[in-house]
Structure 1
Amino acid sequence: MFRSRCYVRDFDGVVRECERTGRSRAAAERALSTALRDRARIDAHAEVTADTKFAAVAELWFADFQRKDRSPNTLQAYRDRLDKQILPALGSVRVRELSVGLVDRHLRAVEAKHGAGLAKQTKTVLGQVCGLAVRHDALTGNPVRDTSPISTKPKKAPRAFTEEQGLQLLAFLTYDDQAIARDIPAFVATMLATGMRIGEACGVLWRSVDLDAGKLTVEATVIRLKGQGLWRKPEPKTASSNRTLKLPDWCVAMLSLRRDTFEATPERPVFPSPRGMLRDPSNTAADLKDAFQLAGFEWATSHVLRKTVASLLDASGRSARDIADQLGHARPSITMDRYMGRKTVTSHNAKVLEAFG
């Protein structure tokens, strides 16, 4: 396959890369020329008809979408879905040619190749673009609504460390020279003490930690924006992610020692990169994976730490609402479905049912 690309400035002033492929260099250039032509025909007040190319409708929708108050991560993810999954397959299709069958087959192909999570996001973007066409009376109904559902529920029960495994891991990390050089032991310990997301842990500044009160405030997350690098996003993943967590005494002692050992200025990250800057969550996840493998937990990922917190709190009898508040989930149902599926054996229920004896 040959590839042809160029950079264009859309009517909204944003410079984007336009890229198309073809079986020959000439075919790739023709596809790129067609894409540029379709881009040039749309503007903020463009009319969408049944004969409009789907690519033009998609660009019109995205131009309006990015003017709204959206997370940079959401903007980048939806742009990627357009450029990588939707436009290459459906960009040249006329609006009138969109059918439930065509859209459903495309979504099934995306799910088979990239997984249910990405397919569901593709479906969301497709649905919103088709919704724009419906509002312009170019479609009589939204074909995405009648496609078969895409389930993203985990097929296996969530797996977490047991209390004994967690203690074993923490002990092993203190002897792992590579993990120590990467500042992993304290990072893992703090995640087990709080249940924070990895990006939230990377975004904690010393001014967010009140060791006298034994509290830590989650108020930001670190993300990587394409072409811009790392950014400390002031709002975490959801509104419920903004939370203040009470720290266990052992974590307060550990962070107190860390504060006294390192240069702990208010605006400095608690867990900085080797250069003293923001820590990259993706690189940290890879470092954690290396440490887990050396410790004998090849199956574990960084997210297992959050599931461990949820499972231990669940086993102790805490309510789903309490655990959801700890993890920063908007709905307790998310916590129960994805984080509390270990089916641990407990004697609490048996003790209650002793009344029938």
Structure 2
Amino acid sequence: MERRGPQGDQHGKLAEDALIESLKTRAAPGLSGEISLDTRVSDLVDRHIESLAGDGKAPATLTTYRSAARKLRKFSEALRVGEATPGRMNAVLRSMREAHGANMARHGRTLLRGALQIAVLDDVLGANPVAQVSRIESERKPKGARALESTELRDLIGKLRVSEACRAADLVDAVTILAATGMRRSELLALRWVDFDEDAGTLNITGKVARIEGQGLKRLDTTKTDSSERVVPLPGFAVTALSERRGMAFVGQRPMIFPSTAGTWRDPDNFNKQWRNVREGLGVPDVTSHSFRKTVATLIDDAGLSARIGADQLGHAKVSMTQDRYMRRGKTHAEVAALLGRAISDE
């Protein structure tokens, strides 16, 4: 390519500047030849999601990402890889947060970072612009579900057993098992009779129920993490509840322990709505299905059992998750004062 210098440019400085400017605007071809500075960022996002699917990412996660990608596209449809500066990425995510909230914007940031990393690895970009965009934090930390005291839990189970509303919604046994195990809602609704060992008094947790885009409600033979697949011991009252349930005419004949009224897998979101409809009548308007999970973790901690035992029971991959997110903090520890008294004053 021949590029003539401007008249009067004795030393070629103007020509050099013009060439540099021209190179800046040329779309650099990637190693694969498929990606350039003109490639739409939204196309790379789609490619990134398909790559995640090929790598075996959980279907429920892919559904969430595809939903986030559709929302993200509204703010980045015309944006090309060569225009993806940190400032522009920050503006896109700020707009997404204002329209759809912090959680969805966090998904958007994850997708943009993964998508533009493809361009980095293809030598189209020298660095990932999203890496320089601050993480998206909620304006205030959610309070989350609260743990119940043991007396509250005992009282609630008693009310549950005599509640006509809970019986009509088939919540009695389901909530009893949540309280007895601390398992996730999606795991509870994926339980099958084959997973219940009455003689051993255990439940084998091997899957979860999730709504998959384009497929509807499915039981997935995988749980949230590798540690989520586990055998959970049951207290006596839970074994009794399941044994009696298996003898019931309808549910005892279905493969799943907690079927929908149609005999299919039960929707975790519908289960949540049913619980919200009855909990105020039980005197626990602030207790969510997740409260039982926190309650089990707290009872384990209060009993002096290790955080590792709690992690095994709840199916956490990291013990720190059990300690930081599920075990109650802010308690008054009189034993610490006694310890210091003995150490310092020989009390």
TM-score, normalised by the number of residues in structure 1 = 0.80
List runs of 5+ in structure 1 lacking aligned partners: 1-44
Q: What residue number does 1:244 align with?
A: 231
CA-based RMSD of the aligned residues comes to 2.3
Q: Does 1:97 align with 2:54?
A: no
Task: Name the amino acid aligned to 1:121.
Answer: H
- Counterpart CA distance in 2 for 1:303 and 1:158 is 6
What is the SS of the residue equivalent to 2:264? coil
* Residue 46 of structure 1, CA deviation: 5.5
Comparing 347-356 and 57-66, the one that deviates more: 347-356
User: Does the Cα contact within 8 Å between 2:145 and 2:288 map onto a contact in 1?
Assistant: no
Comparing 52-61 and 134-143, the one that deviates more: 52-61
- Counterpart CA distance in 1 for 2:298 and 2:154 is 15
Superimposed CA distance per residue, residues 132-182 of structure 1 (whole angstroms, 9 cap, x where no aligned partner): 111222222101111112347945475211112212222222232221111
User: Kindly tell me: are residues 157 and 275 of structure 1, through their superposed partners in 2, closer, same or farther at Cα, counting changes over 3 Å?
Assistant: closer
Map 1:324-335 → 2, pairs under 5 A: 324-335=311-322
Q: What residue number does 1:259 align with?
A: 246
User: Kindly tell me: are residues 192 and 105 of structure 1, through their superposed partners in 2, closer, same or farther at Cα, counting changes over 3 Å?
Assistant: same
- Counterpart CA distance in 2 for 1:213 and 1:68 is 37
- Counterpart CA distance in 2 for 1:98 and 1:336 is 39
* Residue 263 of structure 1, CA deviation: 5.5
2:121 to 135, 141, 144: 135
* Residue 244 of structure 1, CA deviation: 0.4
User: Kindly tell me: are residues 245 and 266 of structure 1, through their superposed partners in 2, closer, same or farther at Cα, counting changes over 3 Å?
Assistant: farther
Q: What residue number does 1:116 align with?
A: 102
Q: How many residues align?
A: 312
Q: Does 1:235 align with 2:222?
A: yes
User: Does the Cα contact within 8 Å between 1:315 and 1:344 map onto a contact in 2?
Assistant: no
User: Kindly tell me: are residues 248 and 209 of structure 1, through their superposed partners in 2, closer, same or farther at Cα, counting changes over 3 Å?
Assistant: same
What is the SS of the residue equivalent to 1:121? helix
Larger Cα-atom Rg: 2
Task: Name the amino acid aligned to 2:96.
Answer: V
User: Kindly tell me: are residues 112 and 331 of structure 1, through their superposed partners in 2, closer, same or farther at Cα, counting changes over 3 Å?
Assistant: farther
User: Does the Cα contact within 8 Å between 2:300 and 2:310 map onto a contact in 1?
Assistant: yes
Superimposed CA distance per residue, residues 106-141 of structure 1 (whole angstroms, 9 cap, x where no aligned partner): 223333443433322221111100101112222221
Task: Name the amino acid aligned to 1:125.
Answer: L
- Counterpart CA distance in 2 for 1:114 and 1:316 is 42
- Counterpart CA distance in 2 for 1:154 and 1:333 is 19
Q: Does 1:185 align with 2:167?
A: no
Comparing 287-296 and 144-153, the one that deviates more: 144-153
Q: What residue number does 2:258 align with?
A: 271
User: Does the Cα contact within 8 Å between 2:48 and 2:111 map onto a contact in 1?
Assistant: no
What is the SS of the residue equivalent to 1:277? coil
User: Does the Cα contact within 8 Å between 2:210 and 2:218 map onto a contact in 1?
Assistant: yes
% same residue: 35
* Residue 48 of structure 1, CA deviation: 1.1
User: Does the Cα contact within 8 Å between 1:208 and 1:217 map onto a contact in 2?
Assistant: yes
List runs of 5+ in structure 2 lacking aligned partners: 1-31
Q: What residue number does 1:14 align with?
A: none
